[in-house]
A and B are shown apart, each in its own frame.
Chain A
Amino acid sequence: MENRFRGSVFMQTKMKRNKKNIKVLVFSGYGLNCEEETAHAFERAGGKADIVHINDVIDGMKKMSDYDILAFPGGFAYGDDTGSGKAYGNRMRNHLWKPLMQFIESGKLVIGICNGFQILSQIGILPGAVTFNESNRYIDRWVDLKAEGKSPWLSGIETLSVPIAHGEGRYIAPKKVLDDLKKNKQVAFRYYKGETSTYQNLPANPNGATENIAGVLAYDGRVFGMMPHPDRNLFSVQRPDWPLQKERAKRAGKKLPFDSDGLQIFKNGITYFG
């Protein structure tokens, strides 16, 4: 199983392309709900993003192969009924398994954020699983992440502060898988006590995730899933401490930058092809 997640060498050939022509398919439908901000993030990063209902892909009205990046955004597909990501993941598996595998094997990129991550792990293209938070509560708060694995999605990122918002975000995997993840540099992010959790005095790990894992990688780092939301830290005014940062900047004669850290993930996706 682990080999499948790693992919093979010949697939790593990069496809050089003009940045403006990098096309992103952002999935929607059945209760996914972060498709607009995810598409906006990719557009702001220089790509061309289309929001596409999964049924339009199943019906053949849109083809995954016409795109460079597949994005599974956050949301509440099927209301998390029967388990988060399960029903949407099944729909992908039942109808789009082949084109999805072809897409991945052609060396392109896939990202799943929050519910998107849950979907990718239910489809079975990311190792491990995400389940109920230790508190068994839905939690919305900011977390701090340390980048670790090897992936085009993580270029130039060491740490990142972004929000989480989930009821089932606790990452778990058998010991063997965890060992392999480490060995193969497939842990994308771990929670740590950084800027925002220190600022608001919150525990580093928000959900009891095994070994503080917040996101994982597969297929040479091209398939990427994370529970936290980089799409919710695109602008400085989204940060919980921005009024304080603004006040400090103002008194130092500076201005608050407009863009914020989460954007880098989306830029990385676009520049991978450029």
Chain B
Amino acid sequence: MATRIDVTPTIPDARAHLKLKTFREIGGTKVKAVHIADSYLIDTDLPKAGLDKARSSLSNPLVEESTVARQLPKKFDWAIEIGFLPGVTDNVGTTAKETIEDATGKKFKEGEHVYSAVVFFIDGKISREVAEKIAGTLHNPLIQKAVVYSANELKKIKNKPPVVPKVKLSASSKVLEVNLEVSDAELEEIGKKGIKDSHGNYRGPLALELDFMTAIRDHFRRLRRNPTDIELEALAQTWSEHCKHTIFANPIDEMSEGIYKGYIKKATEEIRRNKGKQDFCVSVFKDNSGGIVFDEEYVVTHKVETHNSPSALDPFGGAITGVVGVNRDALGFGLGAKPVANVYGFCFAPSEDTRKLYRDSAMKNEMLPAKRIAEGVIKGINAGGNQSGIPTPHGFMLFDEAYRGKPLVFAGTVGLIPKKNGTRKLYEKKAKVGDYIVMVGGRVGLDGIHGATFSSESIDAGSPATSVQIGDPITQKKFSDAIAKEARDLNLFSSITDMGAGGLSGSVGEMSRESNGASVDLEKVPLKYPGLEPWQIWISESQERMLLSVPKGKWKELSELMKRRAVEVTVIGEFTNSGRCEVSYNGKTVMDLDLDFLHDGLPKRAQYTREPNYRGTAVYELSIHEPNKKELTEYVLKMIGSHNIASNDFLAKQYDHEVQSGSVIKPVQGAGRVTGDASVFRPLLTSKRAVVLSSALFPHYANLDPYASAAAALDTAVRNAVAAGASLNHLAILDNFCWTDSYNPERLWQLKEAARACYEYATLYGTPFISGKDSMFNDFKGYDAKGEAIQISALPTLLISSIGVMQDAEKAVSIDAKIAGDLVYVLGHTENELGGSEYFRMRNETQGAVPQTHGAKNLKLYAGLEKAIQQELVASAISVGRGGLAVAFMKTAMAGKMGMSVDITKSVKDVGRSDLALFSESQGRLVVTVAPKDKERFEKLFKGQSFEKVGTIGGTAISMKAGSASVQVSVEDALTAYTKRFKNW
């Protein structure tokens, strides 16, 4: 029988204190006190002595008390219990189970677990309705269950046996044959709604369109049989947009090779050819991450992923799964790179956007509010990175109402791996014929099958298991350490890959190409709970798993090592050279697919683009008046505190960026703790070398001019890195396209334009793409508060991330002004370019010329800056980005907590108006400070280029003169405005 152990704090509880505050926001002052109990439901038989041991190992007597039974506080009116739905990853429960096993020496039986829950006791005469409302803020109904009890209700059931949230499946383990010899309409139906189960219910979308379905039917017609359900599911998964990136791969207009080969990959190939011996790429586009040279002995890798749709549904789970997922892309590089840094990026709707949105026309399935999404995502990145012991030195937040339907959540990981172990190259791998196929890490459940909209119809309605994945960083940390710090260097496996999207189907399918075949016994796969059907086991996206190819002779050593590291490893089959992927279940073949067909059988589709009518233009009539002095001051302070510019120190403070002891340039810099655009860290304790990370995106330019938007992103990502000390000769980039409505020819035109800019600027700058990922449908289709159908598309968003290597960390440059009397320079030229700028959007001006990127000119300027930094002539440097010169000046001053006096009257003459000169977002510019004694040496480096000495550092005020206009704000006032917006986040 299951037993409950409750643990409650005996000292003032910080958690309860904060909850009291938030509960009062809903229930008012009627809410008098909050008590929190951690509750463990132990689903195994334990004798009294065992229960006592369990109890004492789950509590610390100095600060907590524990009871074997529900523990009720003396005074309470309501209790809200939050527990997980059946089948949802319960990390606390797992640790409690291991703790109890260790303390009692008793192993739990198969299927026995500990289920964790948190109980909030509320002392206060509030109505049930208010209590329910509070419960609503405490849980996400997709993954958790909230039960509200009045004091009396709870006292009544106190001694009744608790209900165990166990998953019960009534699966038949049967493999179905799917008849494809049907009409086109029926084929289309199967592709759209999925295979029908034995009860005649659809299992969920295959997302295979008619041309794909027809290709599959024709293939099986040639084989004179119908496919099994598992074969069809495997094809759907392998051919999905998510895995095959068909939009990037298929021909588009005149480009038969498609966008990826014709622009992105081509850029890298050309750059590598041109660099010749200076080529620093090691492994690009073919592995889980891209790898470049770190030094003679090491390779540094990078990969940036998105996790948008899952984060919209379950922000915490989606984001944490995003981080730990991309960590596996480092671990899956070569024979296992160690993750050494995480990066993040969020595109959210502002929390002021309180529109109510529904996924269904009945308006029952409500979208989470923008603020809840942001909070959950932020927390997920926190848990994923911090718990894994990987520093998070760099990231960004960007806001726009267009992200209300779907937030964009970027998560990236940098890895480090030695080039060789003896004579063996560690950045290459190959599964060999006869190697065992080995699954490492977590067990398989229903997680993530058919994405997050898995319907519960096909399983026992009484206990639906949820399909939303939640990351478990500790399970992953255990195998990550065992693989990258031990097994790899003992040569215990010949290949490794991540098991992410598509689960076993994706990873076995992918790795089997290395040996040209695989044979899997599906019943050997360890399951979270019994009753999964074979197709579910094959495509489940249960997290925290890797796939290894292990030579038979190494299996004993590997399995023993993993056992000592508390990591589950299982042989599930063998690599072959049959040219086929064969899967059996209890001895019966359930899948037998030709590898060529599985990977390359999907028909090509032609894509066509159409230029939209509306685009930004340089010729426009300005609708906004020139501000007077008072207004200008107001705008400057409003700008520095605006969503996309204000301090996000609260993120830097909660994301550990010091772990692994390599921090050099931190996410917030200087005495004023101002957010920088690039971070620098040393991934190797014994080397002075450092890695520079940055990123940039300008989605607000994209609808006006997608080419310029992409060029600006690339230019800024490069410029930010150079400003922090990176070298142009050792700088690589990554692309993440998050597009919308991508079958629409106008969207495709934008996409193609953006990709064209990527090709042109990457080749010009000599910065190769080493890895990329795209997400093509960031659209929300649902209903608004009136029940009317609504579509919200994200802005076409291209994130460019940069990664560079610098030889000496000590040459890194921060953004803060340092010494009074230093000279302030603007590098680059300011033009009237404010289309899509922060200033125009602040003033509701919708037109304007989007900043153009003058690559050749910029390149020369950056080379000069790189030299100046190498010669240690630069005291501080910052890119001019959102908010233009005004913001760059202010950030420099605020970071140094020093005043500054500058005059940009010359630029006003070029631009035409003082406010436009201050806020123009022309690309290719930087603000740097230089010691007076270095003036000549510094200026000499920029001879013949566009640069200007505009002022000096000193005093306590920031004073900016622009023609006849001028603004003066104290550093203190500026910092107050800058830090206000997210102060209480």
A83 to B685, CA, bound (A): 31
Given contacts A76-B474, A136-B15, contact A87 B95 (CB under 8 A): yes
Contacts of B685 in A (CB 8 A): 36-37, 40, 234
Whether the pair A140, B566 counts as a contact (CB closer than 8 A) is no
- Min Cβ gap A244→B in Å is 5
- Min Cβ gap B745→A in Å is 47
- Min Cβ gap A22→B in Å is 19
- Encode A11-49 as 1/0 by CB contact (under 8 A) with B: 000000000000000001111111011001000000000
Q: Cβ of B625 < 8 Å from any Cβ of A?
A: no
Q: Cβ of B619 < 8 Å from any Cβ of A?
A: no
A79 to B475, CA, bound (A): 9
Contacts of B719 in A (CB 8 A): none
A173 to B816, CA, bound (A): 41
Whether the pair B62, A129 counts as a contact (CB closer than 8 A) is yes
- Min Cβ gap A184→B in Å is 18
Whether the pair B478, A137 counts as a contact (CB closer than 8 A) is no
Whether the pair B389, A87 counts as a contact (CB closer than 8 A) is no
Q: Which of A133-183 contact B (CB under 8 A)?
A: 133-141, 163, 165, 167, 170, 172-174
Given contacts A53-B565, A238-B658, contact A90 B664 (CB under 8 A): no
Whether the pair B656, A170 counts as a contact (CB closer than 8 A) is no
A81 to B38, CA, bound (A): 11
Q: Which of A72-90 contact B (CB under 8 A)?
A: 74-76, 78-83, 86-87, 90
Whether the pair B564, A55 counts as a contact (CB closer than 8 A) is yes
- Encode A238-257 as 1/0 by CB contact (under 8 A) with B: 10110110111011000010
A129 to B473, CA, bound (A): 25
Contacts of B655 in A (CB 8 A): 140
Whether the pair B14, A132 counts as a contact (CB closer than 8 A) is yes
Whether the pair A232, B663 counts as a contact (CB closer than 8 A) is yes
Whether the pair B102, A94 counts as a contact (CB closer than 8 A) is yes
- Min Cβ gap A250→B in Å is 7
Interface centre among A79, A128, A238 (most CB of B within 10 A): A79
Q: Cβ of A200 < 8 Å from any Cβ of B?
A: yes
- Min Cβ gap A151→B in Å is 22
Q: Cβ of A194 < 8 Å from any Cβ of B?
A: no
Q: Which of B283-291, B806-814, B839-847, B902-910 contacts A (4 or more CB under 8 A)?
A: B806-814
Q: Cβ of B950 < 8 Å from any Cβ of A?
A: no
Q: Which of B656-695 contact A (CB under 8 A)?
A: 656-666, 669-673, 682, 685-686
Q: Cβ of B176 < 8 Å from any Cβ of A?
A: no
- Min Cβ gap A37→B in Å is 4
Whether the pair B671, A128 counts as a contact (CB closer than 8 A) is no
Given contacts A140-B655, A172-B63, contact A55 B814 (CB under 8 A): no
Q: Cβ of B818 < 8 Å from any Cβ of A?
A: yes
A35 to B952, CA, bound (A): 46
Contacts of B60 in A (CB 8 A): 83, 86, 122, 129
- Encode B87-131 as 1/0 by CB contact (under 8 A) with A: 000011011101100110000000000001000000000000000
A243 to B674, CA, bound (A): 14
Contacts of A68 in B (CB 8 A): none
Whether the pair B816, A81 counts as a contact (CB closer than 8 A) is no
- Encode B61-86 as 1/0 by CB contact (under 8 A) with A: 01110000000000000000000000
Q: Cβ of B433 < 8 Å from any Cβ of A?
A: no
A85 to B565, CA, bound (A): 18
A34 to B481, CA, bound (A): 12
- Per the CB 8 Å criterion, the residue count for chain B at the interface is 76
Q: Which DSSP category, helix, strand, loop or mixed, fits chain B's interface?
A: mixed
Given contacts A140-B654, A237-B809, A238-B661, contact A90 B103 (CB under 8 A): yes
Whether the pair A78, B819 counts as a contact (CB closer than 8 A) is no
Contacts of A82 in B (CB 8 A): 38, 40, 58, 92, 95-96, 99
Q: Which DSSP category, helix, strand, loop or mixed, fits chain A's interface?
A: mixed
Q: Cβ of B477 < 8 Å from any Cβ of A?
A: yes
A40 to B116, CA, bound (A): 38
Q: Cβ of B144 < 8 Å from any Cβ of A?
A: no
- Min Cβ gap A31→B in Å is 5
In the complex formed, the residue of B with least CB distance to A78 is B95
Q: Which of B380-388, B544-552, B776-784, B790-798 contacts A (4 or more CB under 8 A)?
A: B380-388
A128 to B98, CA, bound (A): 25
Contacts of A136 in B (CB 8 A): 14-15, 17-18
In the complex formed, the residue of B with least CB distance to A134 is B14
A28 to B477, CA, bound (A): 11
Contacts of B96 in A (CB 8 A): 81-82
Whether the pair B91, A237 counts as a contact (CB closer than 8 A) is no
In the complex formed, the residue of B with least CB distance to A74 is B659
Q: Cβ of A10 < 8 Å from any Cβ of B?
A: no
In the complex formed, the residue of B with least CB distance to A131 is B63
In the complex formed, the residue of A with least CB distance to B660 is A37
A244 to B817, CA, bound (A): 9
In the complex formed, the residue of B with least CB distance to A28 is B481
Q: Cβ of A185 < 8 Å from any Cβ of B?
A: no
Given contacts A33-B659, A79-B91, contact A237 B664 (CB under 8 A): yes
- Min Cβ gap B803→A in Å is 19
Q: Cβ of B295 < 8 Å from any Cβ of A?
A: no
Contacts of A129 in B (CB 8 A): 60, 62-63
A173 to B669, CA, bound (A): 36
Contacts of A231 in B (CB 8 A): 661
Q: Cβ of B799 < 8 Å from any Cβ of A?
A: no
Contact partner of A37 (CB less than 8 A), chosen from B474, B478, B661, B812, is: B661
Contacts of B57 in A (CB 8 A): 86-87, 90
Contact partner of A165 (CB less than 8 A), chosen from B13, B59, B659, is: B659
Given contacts A79-B95, A81-B92, A165-B659, contact A86 B810 (CB under 8 A): no
A196 to B95, CA, bound (A): 37
Contact partner of A141 (CB less than 8 A), chosen from B17, B653, B664, is: B653
Contacts of A240 in B (CB 8 A): 666, 669
- Encode A213-240 as 1/0 by CB contact (under 8 A) with B: 0000000000000000101101101101
Whether the pair B565, A87 counts as a contact (CB closer than 8 A) is no
Q: Cβ of A59 < 8 Å from any Cβ of B?
A: yes
A222 to B860, CA, bound (A): 59
In the complex formed, the residue of B with least CB distance to A256 is B810
Q: Please list the residues of chain A having a beta carbon within 8 angstroms of any beta carbon in chain B.
A: 28-34, 36-37, 40, 53, 55-56, 59, 74-76, 78-83, 86-87, 90-91, 94-95, 122, 128-129, 131-141, 163, 165, 167, 170, 172-174, 199-201, 208, 229, 231-232, 234-235, 237-238, 240-241, 243-244, 246-248, 250-251, 256
For this complex, 30 residue pairs linking A to B, each with C-beta atoms less than 8 Å apart, are A29-B481, A30-B566, A31-B387, A33-B388, A34-B659, A40-B661, A76-B387, A76-B388, A81-B116, A82-B92, A83-B58, A91-B102, A132-B15, A140-B656, A141-B653, A165-B658, A201-B671, A232-B658, A232-B659, A234-B685, A237-B664, A237-B682, A243-B670, A243-B814, A244-B816, A247-B818, A248-B819, A250-B872, A251-B819, A251-B931
3 nearest A-B pairs in the assembled complex, by CB-CB distance: A33-B389, A81-B95, A37-B661
14 extra A-B contacts, CB within 8 A, seeds A81-B92, A90-B99, A232-B661: A32-B389, A40-B661, A79-B387, A83-B64, A129-B62, A136-B17, A139-B654, A165-B659, A167-B386, A200-B673, A232-B659, A237-B809, A243-B818, A248-B818
